[in-house]
Amino acid sequence: MPLLLRILKLLTLSAAFLMAGAQQLGLTFDDGLNPDTEPHAPRWSAQILAGLRQAELTAMAFPSLARTGEGQGLALIRQWAEAGHAIGNHTASHRSLSLPSITLAGFIADVDRTDAVFGSYPNRVPLLRFPYLKEGNSVERRDGMRAWMQAHGYRAAPVSIDASDGYYDQVYAAHIAKGDTDRASRVKRAYIQHLLDRASYYEALAVTTLGRSPAHVLRLHTNQINADALGEIVAAFRARDWTLVNPCIAFDDPLYARQPETLPAGETIVWALARQAGHAGLRYPAEDSTDEAPVLCAQGLLP
Ligand SMILES: [Zn+2]
């Protein structure tokens, strides 16, 4: 092989190697916590903020007034904002846009009401995280929200990677409540492995569907298991060569401006685009406890 061709081949292989280890990941945290109903809320929120600070990471929070309440929970979100994390919108009442009982106008009013509370916070961003990742079960709702967002300087904030952190949190909390720290810690280990597995799954689905590895956005929640595990989660991703980035940078990836035409609309953006492309074997909803519970049961980890 001529020298020039050999050099070109070497450069191509090197670029492919660098790309293979270059998956980017931004962390987002949905909901917020309410100290008026959950006495541990200030500690869990502080633990997550400390974990982010120690890992030198900037994240993005999507608070919903239904989850924060309108008392001390707002002060917790202000702490996130003042620590430099971006604050998006997750609606006031945390209702799915696919619910028959909500109208498009009612959903928009929910977005507006959240803005009236968080709009003046530092680092507020006009990004909307749909509750339950449900973006409407009709063309009228799906496209109505897209038109409203475009007219009001808003963007949707989809995720590329979702995982059942709420389900793992319930199982973890049940063991903690019973004082079973051994099984709680085994659930935490299983949860971290689950996050890594779901990230690999969505990365592979993205490469198949888009033909490239996008900057990923992971959805987590402000809950107990993430408060206790955040440092280990970040270390586990970094050990697998993921580069953690500011989600504001991840959202610049053109993937997040795509508007799949699937109905019901929503789930992860990678899942929706794969479904639109006719990818077989996609479960709906994309993430729940159907596959997770048997795995924990087999390890004797269900309460
Ligand atoms: Zn939520």
CA of 66 to the centre of ligand 1 (A): 9
The one-letter amino acid at 180: D
The one-letter amino acid at 85: H
Chain-centroid distance of CA 129 in Å reads: 9
CA of 28 to the centre of ligand 1 (A): 11
Cα 78 to Cα 46, 213, 234: the distances in Å are: 12, 34, 24
Residues linked to residue 27 through DSSP beta bridges, in sequence order: 218
- Give the number of other Cβ atoms within 10 Å of residue 244's Cβ: 21
The DSSP call for residue 32 is -
Residue 238 gets the label, from left (phi > 0), alpha (psi -120 to 50) or beta, of alpha
CA of 18 to the centre of ligand 1 (A): 35
Per-position pLDDT tens, the chain of length 303: 455 445 444 444 344 334 445 799 999 999 999 999 999 999 999 999 999 999 999 999 999 999 999 999 999 999 999 999 999 999 999 999 999 999 999 999 999 999 999 999 999 999 999 999 999 999 999 999 999 999 999 999 999 999 999 999 999 999 999 999 999 999 999 999 999 999 999 999 999 999 999 999 999 999 999 999 999 999 999 999 999 999 999 999 999 999 999 999 999 999 999 999 999 989 888 888 888 999 999 999 999
Q: Residues 226, 169: contact at Cβ < 8 Å? A: yes
CA of 134 to the centre of ligand 1 (A): 10
Q: Residues 57, 27: contact at Cβ < 8 Å? A: yes
pLDDT attached to residue 273:
98
For domain 23-298, give the CATH superfamily: Glycoside hydrolase/deacetylase (3.20.20.370)
CA of 32 to the centre of ligand 1 (A): 9
CA of 167 to the centre of ligand 1 (A): 13
CA of 281 to the centre of ligand 1 (A): 26
pLDDT attached to residue 175:
98
CA of 29 to the centre of ligand 1 (A): 9
CA of 67 to the centre of ligand 1 (A): 8
- Give the number of other Cβ atoms within 10 Å of residue 182's Cβ: 9
Total number of residues shown for the chain:
303
pLDDT attached to residue 18:
42
CA of 14 to the centre of ligand 1 (A): 41
Q: Which of 161, 106, 86, 136 is nearest to 259 (CA)?
A: 136
pLDDT attached to residue 126:
98
Tell me if residue 302 falls in helix, strand or coil.
Answer: coil
pLDDT attached to residue 152:
98
